[in-house]
Structure 1
Amino acid sequence: MTGHDLDGFRGEVRDWCRAHVPADWRRSQTGATDPEFVRFQHEWFQQLRRAGYAVPHWPREYGGGMSLPEQIVLYQELAAHDAPRLVLAFVAVHHAAATLLAAGTDEQRRRHLPAILDGEIWVQGFSEPGAGSDLAALRTSARRDGDGYVVTGQKVWASGAQYADWCLLLARTDPVAPKRRGISYFLLDMRSPGIQVRPIRQATGESHFCEIFLDEVRIPADGLVGAEHAGWQVAQQTLGAERGLTMLELAERLGNAGFRWLLEACERADPGGRRALDDAVVADRLAALEIEIFGLRALCRDLVERHEAGVAGPADASVVKLYYSELLQRVTDFGTEVGGLAAHTTLRKPMSSGWESGAWVLDFVGSWEWTIPGGTSEIQRTIIAERGLGLPREPTGT
């Protein structure tokens, strides 16, 4: 696509956003009930779908087909116009789709990809109480029984499980094999008997994360993705969906709404008429954060382009994840500091926003989520050291 064509596409997306992004969505989604949140997310997803913007990264035959430059423009404009995030559909659109396209059968793709476009919601059932950062240590078991499998175990930190129709599930099918070689990957219908979902009450008052208890749950044989015992390799396709454009979208949102709320907090006058921005130290820190955000956006775009070209390094995604998550903490921490006591009284935020809502205390508490899942910051640094810089591996014992 030429630069002129891309400018035309940007104009189309910009016009669509002006006409369709709900002007009052932040107000209506603040304090929304679960049914109101689910209804809003479904309606917003279908608006994006009708415009051809819901799954731009999917193959054309499944409703996508946008070029990489077009996808970058789309996410930039959605962020610039403060569009709601697809919170509810995120796992389905990215993780489930990536898994099905890379390792699923034709029947699995035919069954689920159109259903996702119609609103099917997915949850990721990977982490366990004793297998968070060390995912391969999971203990949920799946034993072969006739024409299917019987699964027993527990999952935790399952985001949005209370809304989900289906689950991407890792379970151990060979208890004696080395831990990465005895895992299988399943598609689990969340309406199956024997499943119990318990939302976890968080410090923010939300219940975004959940526990999933599995008690002798049957999964048909056609729910297996890839070969039996080869689930670890399939899971890498799932986790790979967190790279590239998903990080670019988050970076663009931090650089648009996030920085805009931060600037407004610094410009707001206190009862005595003083603005935080008039303090040289505050102005200096604000400028430094703006530079960091600019660098993050450039880094994300570079990763996306090199990943598309097949020349991304083995630790590049870890660099971006580490940089984003810790910069998000610095931005929200500064917003909380500048907001003062008033920031601590804002105890609700829009349910369809990300971690840049301007409710600084809630955003700051939520920002810590990003330094833990998907590999903690410590694990990311190890990956960068060993795979990116070629440093010796850490000793495993004496």
Structure 2
Amino acid sequence: MTHTTTTGGNPEALRAEVRAWLQQNVPPGWRAAQTGTGQDMFVRSQRDWFTKLVKAGYATPHWSAEWPGGGRSLAEQKVIYEEVARADAPRLILFFVALYHAACTVMEWGSEAQKRQHLPGILEGRVWCQGFSEPNAGSDLASVRTRAERRGDVYVINGQKTWSTLAQFADRCLLLVRTDGSGAPQAGLTYLLLDMKTKGVTVRPIAQITGDDEFSEIFFDDVEVPLSDRVGEEGQGWAVAQSTLASERGLTLVELTQRMRYSLPRIAAIMRERGVADDPALRRELGRLIPKVDAACALADRYLLKRIEGTEAAGDASIVKLAYARTLREFTLLGQRIAGLQGQYREDFIRGGGMETGNWPFDFMNSYNWSIAGGSDEIQRNIIAERLLGMPREPKNWVLA
């Protein structure tokens, strides 16, 4: 499998190449086709789009150079993400964990045998999910309680995970478990690669207020995981998990902020359609929103530039995430206000869309995800205060059952 890129590391030549490819390959009318559809059709469309991107070399620019499409600089990766956002292409929601969390974790921490086993499978369409969050351990991963007891050459797992994206379709799971509860919470965690078809694994989709079932709960009842499926050493799970969470940092927020920017014309179009384009209050709100969207894009760009230059500081990513979450909320709320009563109706949602599909009730409710997922707004503010501004840390009393 080889990718088709011929730009030789020139970002602007790459931009023209990617833009032309997207014009020819983005599924026409995909938003309408994915509105109100079931998960089966969504999965098929995601697999088709994933296959196209892999063959073109645009699914894995962040992978190392020996892989198809890999070895791209951060500047080149940014170009690809910007053009995908500009083209309003479907998001690879089904394969996001595989392409980023799983691949980058295995590349950095995995054994040679694990790399040979899992990386080719990702390119062939294996789906991964993430088993980090629990009912009482969301943003605070140090509170993970799912237990793993080592018995010979296997770990026996008992516990529960929640908010695992599309786990009902996953072949593998990135699983964070507790192997020791006697010391510091972070020191007792271990990282495993779980086969989701293992006996004792039960997956239950979660019905959301939006009508989607994107997330699932995963239950483990005496699930045996081979010792060979451990990543890193026992008790090193905290460090491995931090690498997993950092794998998407920057580029994802570049794409999402750009998607919001390119969606601004939808708001203007709705204003014209409803005959409120001259409403002074709504025009004022739109006028306030546009520079906030531009600022969120600029923050994401600045953060990525700092990563390219090697000057990234702890807390920089939190600034971008916090700005995006707050701006997205204002974006979707203004859409609802402009849509009027129609903006209060529940409509069929668009599978595979971004966070600003134009289905305002769904988008507004979904915007709250970004205030929680990947670290709540409160967690982000603490990180900024403590790690970036050097303010005193909040006192913490760790209690493990």
> TM class by shorter-chain length?
over 0.9
Instruction: Identify which of 157, 161, 184 aligns with 1:155.
Output: 161
Is 2:237 aligned against 1:234? no
Instruction: State the partner residue of 1:78.
Output: 84
Is 2:273 aligned against 1:268? yes
Q: Which runs of no fewer than 5 residues in structure 1 stay unpaired?
A: 270-274
CA distance in 1, matches of 2:9, 2:40: 43
CA distance in 1, matches of 2:13, 2:48: 27
Is 2:24 aligned against 1:57? no
Residue type at the aligned position of 1:77? E
Q: Which runs of no fewer than 5 residues in structure 2 stay unpaired?
A: 1-5
The answer to whether the Cα contact below 8 Å between 1:62 and 1:113 also exists between their aligned partners in 2 is: no
Tell me the alpha carbon deviations over residues 24-79 of structure 1, each in whole angstroms, 9 at most, x when there is no partner.
Answer: 10011111221111110000001011111011111111221222222111111111
Instruction: State the partner residue of 1:39.
Output: 44
Pair 5,131 (structure 1): closer, same or farther in 2 beyond 3 Å: closer
Instruction: State the partner residue of 2:3.
Output: none
Instruction: Identify which of 134, 140, 143 aligns with 2:146.
Output: 140
Give 3-state SS (helix, strand or coil) of 2:294's partner.
helix
More deviation in 362-371 or 260-269?
260-269
Tell me the alpha carbon deviations over residues 353-387 of structure 1, each in whole angstroms, 9 at most, x when there is no partner.
Answer: 02110000100001101101211101111111111
The answer to whether the Cα contact below 8 Å between 2:7 and 2:14 also exists between their aligned partners in 1 is: no
Shift of 1:283: 1.2
Instruction: State the partner residue of 2:131.
Output: 125
Residue type at the aligned position of 1:267? R
More deviation in 83-92 or 172-181?
172-181
Give 3-state SS (helix, strand or coil) of 2:349's partner.
coil
Shift of 1:347: 1.5
Residue type at the aligned position of 1:114? P
Shift of 1:396: 4.3
Give 3-state SS (helix, strand or coil) of 2:354's partner.
coil
Tell me the alpha carbon deviations over residues 58-104 of structure 1, each in whole angstroms, 9 at most, x when there is no partner.
Answer: 11112212222221111111111111100100011111112111111
Instruction: State the partner residue of 2:15.
Output: 10
Is 2:289 aligned against 1:289? yes
Please give the TM-score of this superposition, normalised by the length of structure 1: 0.95
List aligned pairs for 1:102-117, cutoff 5 A. 102-117=108-123
Please give the TM-score of this superposition, normalised by the length of structure 2: 0.94
The answer to whether the Cα contact below 8 Å between 1:126 and 1:135 also exists between their aligned partners in 2 is: yes
Instruction: Identify which of 216, 219, 224 aligns with 2:230.
Output: 224
Shift of 1:148: 1.2
Q: Percent identity?
A: 46
CA distance in 2, matches of 1:345, 1:51: 40
Quote the RMSD (CA, aligned, Å).
1.6
Shift of 1:2: 10
Instruction: State the partner residue of 2:252.
Output: 246
Instruction: Identify which of 99, 102, 105 aligns with 1:99.
Output: 105
Shift of 1:344: 2.4
List aligned pairs for 1:205-224, cutoff 5 A. 205-224=211-230
The answer to whether the Cα contact below 8 Å between 1:204 and 1:347 also exists between their aligned partners in 2 is: no
Give 3-state SS (helix, strand or coil) of 1:120's partner.
coil
CA distance in 2, matches of 1:138, 1:35: 32
Instruction: Identify which of 162, 171, 178 aligns with 1:172.
Output: 178
